Amino acid sequence: MNAAQFFDQWNPVWRDLMRAVSMLKDDQLTFKPSEHYERTVGDILRHIINVERGWIHYVIRRQYESWPQEDAATLATVEVIEAEMQRVHQSTMDYLETVDVDDFTRIVQVPDDGTPKLAWILWHVFEQEIHHRGELYLCLSLLGYDRPKTDRPG
């Protein structure tokens, strides 16, 4: 069994996240659910990209020289953000196809900080995507939208 098979629930989570993203308009990227909350809708989406790029493609795969930045200037429209989310996530899913579950206990050296197991990193990225999807759903509700349904299989 490979990691993509093990994390097969990532597919409906991703599907529903992208349904939510497709509901957004560019001017809603600056929406904040509260004056006390640090992130806008655009920041949440860029953070989702950054978590996946950072943990999977920097820490594990070493495809970057340093932790990637959340680039608000480049990722400034829903279309561009959605395309980058798709690109990064497809790269992650392609990588997971190559990882055998027997490798989950492998220790990964985080540059300058810690040595978690591979499984912890993968679960962390998946968990963070679920968490930030929830933030996005709350923002959609506050913007007057019905959130995508998530309580169904497949």
- DSSP, collapsed to helix, strand or coil, labels residue 100 as strand
| pLDDT of the residue at 77 | 97
Which of 121, 112, 98, 115 minimizes the C-alpha distance to 65?
112
Contact 46, 151 (CB under 8 A): no
What are all long-range contacts of 102-106, with beta carbons under 8 Å and residues at least 24 apart? 103/3, 104/3
Contact 12, 127 (CB under 8 A): no
Q: Please say if the pLDDT value at position 154 is more than 60.
A: no
Q: Which residue has the tokens 């004056």?
A: 35
Q: Which tokens hold the place of 69?
A: 């930045």
| pLDDT of the residue at 151 | 67
Beta bridge partners of 117: 107
Share of the chain above pLDDT 90, in %: 89
34-38, 50-54, 104-108, 118-122: least confident range:
34-38
Tens of pLDDT, residue by residue over 41-94, are 999 999 999 999 999 999 999 999 999 998 889 999 999 999 999 999 999 999
Give me the CATH topology for the region 3-142.
Four Helix Bundle (Hemerythrin (Met), subunit A) (1.20.120)
State the amino acid at position 43 in one-letter form: D
Element (H, E) at 93: helix 78-97
Q: How far apart are CA 2 and CA 81, in angstroms?
A: 29
User: Which is it for the CA torsion 2, 118, 137, 20, positive or negative?
Assistant: negative
Q: How far apart are CA 19 and CA 7, in angstroms?
A: 20
Alpha helices in the chain (DSSP H): 3-6, 10-22, 41-52, 78-97, 118-142
Q: Please say if the pLDDT value at position 112 is more than 90.
A: no
